[in-house]
Structure 1
Amino acid sequence: MDSYTMFLNILNFIFILNIAFAIVVIIFERRNANNTWTWLMIMLFVPILGFILYLFFGQDLRHKKFFVLKKEEESILIRFSDEQKKLINDDTIMIQNPILIEFHDVINLNLASDNFVVTNNNKVDVLNNGIEKFPLLIDCIKSAKNFIHIQYYIFEDDNLGTEILNLLVDKALHGVEVKLLYDGMGCLHNKRHFFDPLKKAGGEVYCFFPPFIPYINIRINYRNHRKICVIDGEHGFIGGLNIGDEYLGLSKKFGFWRDIHLHLQGDSVNYLEVRFLMDWRFASNQDFFMSEKYFPKKQYTAQTAVQIISSGPDSDWCSIRNTYLKLINKAQNSIYIETPYFIPDESIQTALKIACLSGVEVKIIIPSKPDHPFIHWASKSYIWELVECGAHCYTYDNGFIHSKMVSIDGKMCTVGTANMDIRSFNLNFEVNAIIYDETVTRKIDQAFMEDILSSTLLTQELYDKRTPLVRFKESVYRLLSPIL
C-alpha cells in the first residue's frame, strides 16, 4: 500500500469516526437544536479535536444526581408554595403592597414553576461595590453566634480571601457552626490545602461538583455560580461579588470593579438558606433536613417584598430566564440592564427588540474591557442589533462592570448571580432576588444612571466604523454563542 492510499484510508477513518461521535454523543442527547448545530459545525471543521472540545465543554450531565435530589426537595418546598397560593388568591399578601398586585403574574410564574415564595417583611440594603460589601460582610461574620453558611463560585487565596477564611476559622474555634461551599472550577487555581485550617478548626468544607473525575469526564459545564452567605438566619448576602482582592478593585488589569450585591434581613433570608442547604446536600451527601435552628423567627416590620428564585440544570424550567423574559414583555416605560456578558437566547433578544420598537426605553450597559474576549465579541453582535432598533447601549469605561441587574419601570428589579447569557440560563446554577419595591428600585436605577456617566454610548456611527477584523470576530463568535 503506497503512502497516498494510506493517507486516504486515514482520512476516511477520521471522517467515519467523526460522524459516529456526532451521532452517538450529540444527536442522541436530544439537546437544544442551536447547541446541536453548533457542535456539529465544530466537529465538521475540526475533526477529532472538536470531539475533545466537546468532552470539556459540551457533555450533557442533566440526568445525573441533580434531578434525583431535586424531586425529593420539591416535596419540602411545595408545602410553602401551596400555603402562599391560598394567601394570594385571598389577596392577603397583595393588599399590603400594591406593586405585588401589578406584578402578581410574575409571582405566580415563579410559584408555579419552582415553588418560589415571595415574602413581604424584608429590609434590603443595596451594596454597589466590594468596598461597600466586604466590611459589612466581615462585621456580620464577626458577630455570628450560631452558624455561618457561605457559598461562593470563587473564593480566592489572596489577601481578602485569607482574611475572611481566618475569621471563619476563629468563629469555628469558638463553637460557631461554619459550612463553606465552593465551586471546583471557580477555585481551580487555589492552593490545594487552602481551606484546611477551617477543617482543622471544626468547620466543614465541600467542593461543589469537582471539575475532574479521573477516567469519567471533565466537568467544565454545570458550575455552581451562586454567591450566598447566611449568618444566624438573620443576615443574607446575594449578588455578583465573589471573594477576592479583584472584587475590591485591586486588579491591575481591570481596576475598579463595579458590581451589585444585596444585604437582606427578614423572611427572604430563610429562602436563601433553603437554597444553600439544597446545594450543601448535593455536595456533601449529608441527609437534608429543615432544622429549626436555621430558620429563627424574624422580627422585622419592614415592608419590602422579596422573592428568591434560582435555576440550574436540575430544574425543568429556566426560571431566571423566564422571569427576565416575562419582565421585558411586561415593561411599559423602561428596561434597564447591566450584565458583563450579553448573549441572550432568541426569545430574550426578540422581546427586547419588540420593546424598543414599542417605545419602551431600553438601556443596557456592558463592559468596555472584556475578561473573556470571545464572549465580548459575541455580546457586541447582539448589542448592535438592539442599537439598530433604538436601544441605548453603553460600554462601561470606569474599570470593569460585573453587575447582574434588570430594572423594570422604576417599580421592581432583580439582582443576583445570573448573567444575561445562555450559560446562566441553561448551564450554571444561579440565584437571584426579585425586589418588588419602588424605593429599592430607585436606588438601583440611580446607580445605573451614574454608571452611564462613566460609559460610552454605542452609536450607529461607531457601528459603521468597525474594522473588517472586528466584524469578522463578531460574526464568528456569534455562531459559537450557544455554547459560550
Structure 2
Amino acid sequence: MTFAVTFIGVLLLIIIWLVLDFRLGRKKHHSQMKNCETPMLHGQLDIYPHGPELFADYFKEIKEAKLHIHILFYIIKNDKFSHTFLKLLKEKAKEGVEVRLLLDRIGGIRLKKHSINELREAGVHFSYCNRVKLPYLFYSAQVRNHRKITIIDGKIGYLGGYNIGKEYINEDPKLSPWRDYHLKLLGEGATFLQSEFLIDWRENTSEDLLNHSKYFPEVSKGLIRHQLMPTEAVTLEKKYLGLLQMAKESIIIGTPYFIPSKPLFQELRAVLKRGVQLAIVVPYTSDHVLVQEASHRYLKTLLREGAKVFQFKNGFYHAKTIVIDDKLCDIGTANFDKRSLFLNKEINCYIYNPEFIERLKAVLQKDIEDSRPLTLKELTKPNLFRSVKEGIAGIFSYFL
C-alpha cells in the first residue's frame, strides 16, 4: 500500500513538473518571437520531387564549391549514404573551402561521436543546434530545428523536405520510393537563406559572421517572384490562416502529417462553406506511430463537408506544400501539424510565379494519380482498435 501511494505521488509530481515546464517554456518562447518575412524576392527556382535527382545535383554543386558551404539538416543518419555525404564535406574542407554543418540535437542523434570528431579533424566546423537545456528541459526537448537548408558560395540555396539518409534516395524497402519536394534557389533567395543560417549558427556557437561581406556576394536577379519566411512558436499558424482566408476557388494541401490547430481547422471548414474546393494529399503508409490516427478526427469532418482526401500509395509521401487558387504556392520544411505550427523552427518559400505553380501542379497531379481517394465510409466504419488509437492520438497530437 505504501509503495502504491508513493508511486502515485511521484507520478503526480512528474506530471505537474512536465505541465509547468512546458507552459512556462512556451510562454518564454512566445515572448521572444517576432514575425520575419522577406520582401518580394526575385530569383531562379527549380523543384526536385525525387531524391536521387536532387542529391545528384546537390553533390555536384558541393563538389564545385570554391569558398564556403553552409548546411543545416534535421536528420543525418548513420548509413552508407550519410557516410558518403560526410566524406564529401571532409574532402571540401581539406581543399580549403569553409564548411559549416549544423545538426538538430535530437534529429541527429544517430550521428556517431567518432564521425563528428573526423569532421572536425578534417576542418569542418560542426555544431549541434537546439540542445535540450535548463530551465525548461521538457519544452526544449520538443522545440526542434526542422529547417533543411544549404547555401553554397552564397549564391546557390537548397530548401525543402529531404534530410540525409538512405530512405531519401529510395533505399529503404518500407518507404520507397520517397516522395518529397525540395527547392533549389539562385538569386536573392540564396542570400536570405545565408543570413538565416548564420543567425542559427550564431545562436548555437556564439560565432557572429553576419557582418562578413564575403558570405554575401552580389547575385543576379531571376524572374520568379517569391518570399521566404522562417517561423517558430506561433508565427506559422498566422501565416497559414492568411493563406486560407485569401482563397477564392481552390486549395491543395500536401503534407505527411495532417494535424491542424483549432483555428486552422475552423478556417478549413469555413473555406468549404464558401464554395472553395479543398483537396488534401497525405500518405497511405505511415512512418510514425499514431500520426494517421491523429488526423482522422479532422478528415472525417472535412470529408463530410465536401473536401477530397487522397492517400499516396506509390511509396511514402513526405512533401509539404499548399497551392492557393493557382496564384500562390508554398513549399518548405513545415508540415501541416501542431509540431510545425507551434514548436519547430521551420522555413517556407511562397512562390507567385504562374509558370512555376503550373509545374508544381503537374507534380501534384501525378501524386494524386498515384493515390487512392479516402472515403468517409472507411473512417466511420466501426473499428475498436482504431478508435482506441484515435483517442490516444488525440491526447498526444501536440507532440506527434
TM over 0.5: yes
Cα distance change, pair 464–221 in 1 and its aligned pair in 2 (3 A): closer
CA distance in 1, matches of 2:380, 2:294: 17
CA deviations over 1:357-414 (Å, ceiling 9, x no partner): 2211100011111111211211122212211111000111111000011111111111
For the pair 1:309 / 2:233, whether they are aligned, the reply is: no
Give how far 1:265 is off: 0.6
For the pair 1:222 / 2:143, whether they are aligned, the reply is: yes
Is the Cα–Cα contact under 8 Å of residues 267 and 298 in structure 1 kept in the other structure?
Answer: yes
Give how far 1:142 is off: 1.1
CA deviations over 1:442-472 (Å, ceiling 9, x no partner): 1111111111111110113323435222223
CA distance in 1, matches of 2:169, 2:247: 34
For the pair 1:290 / 2:211, whether they are aligned, the reply is: yes
> What residue is the counterpart of 2:118 in the other structure?
197
Cα distance change, pair 178–359 in 1 and its aligned pair in 2 (3 A): same
CA distance in 2, matches of 1:151, 1:127: 18
CA distance in 1, matches of 2:334, 2:382: 30
Is the Cα–Cα contact under 8 Å of residues 153 and 226 in structure 1 kept in the other structure?
Answer: yes
CA distance in 1, matches of 2:257, 2:163: 16
Is the Cα–Cα contact under 8 Å of residues 157 and 193 in structure 2 kept in the other structure?
Answer: yes
- In the alignment, structure 1 segments of 5+ residues that lack a partner are 1-6, 32-59, 71-112
> What residue is the counterpart of 2:253 in the other structure?
337
CA deviations over 1:263-291 (Å, ceiling 9, x no partner): 00111111111110111112212235321
Give how far 1:12 is off: 4.7
Is the Cα–Cα contact under 8 Å of residues 131 and 141 in structure 2 kept in the other structure?
Answer: no
CA distance in 2, matches of 1:137, 1:421: 28
> What residue is the counterpart of 1:442 in the other structure?
358
Cα distance change, pair 476–24 in 1 and its aligned pair in 2 (3 A): closer
Give how far 1:304 is off: 1.2
Of residues 42, 49, 55 in structure 2, which corresponds to 1:134? 55
Cα distance change, pair 61–386 in 1 and its aligned pair in 2 (3 A): closer
Is the Cα–Cα contact under 8 Å of residues 229 and 347 in structure 2 kept in the other structure?
Answer: yes
> What residue is the counterpart of 1:367 in the other structure?
283
For the pair 1:255 / 2:176, whether they are aligned, the reply is: yes
> What residue is the counterpart of 1:458 in the other structure?
374
> What residue is the counterpart of 2:193 in the other structure?
272
Identity of aligned residues (%): 32
Counterpart of 1:339, as a letter, is: T
> What residue is the counterpart of 1:40 in the other structure?
none
Give how far 1:232 is off: 0.7
> What residue is the counterpart of 1:421 in the other structure?
337
For the pair 1:398 / 2:314, whether they are aligned, the reply is: yes
Of residues 306, 317, 323 in structure 1, which corresponds to 2:239? 323
CA distance in 1, matches of 2:163, 2:339: 18
Cα distance change, pair 239–434 in 1 and its aligned pair in 2 (3 A): same
Aligned residues: 399
Q: Which moved more, 1:162-171 or 1:425-434?
A: 162-171
Q: TM-score, normalised by structure 2?
A: 0.93
Cα distance change, pair 460–406 in 1 and its aligned pair in 2 (3 A): same
Q: Secondary structure at the match of 1:200?
A: helix
Counterpart of 2:227, as a letter, is: Q
Cα distance change, pair 18–461 in 1 and its aligned pair in 2 (3 A): closer
Counterpart of 1:228, as a letter, is: I
1:7-406 matched pairs, under 5 angstroms: 7=1, 9-15=2-8, 20-22=13-15, 26-27=19-20, 30=23, 60=25, 63=28, 114-211=35-132, 217=137, 220-300=141-221, 302-313=222-233, 318-406=234-322
In angstroms, what is the RMSD of aligned CA positions? Answer: 2.4
Q: Which moved more, 1:368-377 or 1:465-474?
A: 465-474
Structure label with greater radius of gyration: 1
- In the alignment, structure 2 segments of 5+ residues that lack a partner are none
Cα distance change, pair 347–278 in 1 and its aligned pair in 2 (3 A): same
Q: Secondary structure at the match of 2:360?
A: helix
Is the Cα–Cα contact under 8 Å of residues 39 and 227 in structure 2 kept in the other structure?
Answer: yes
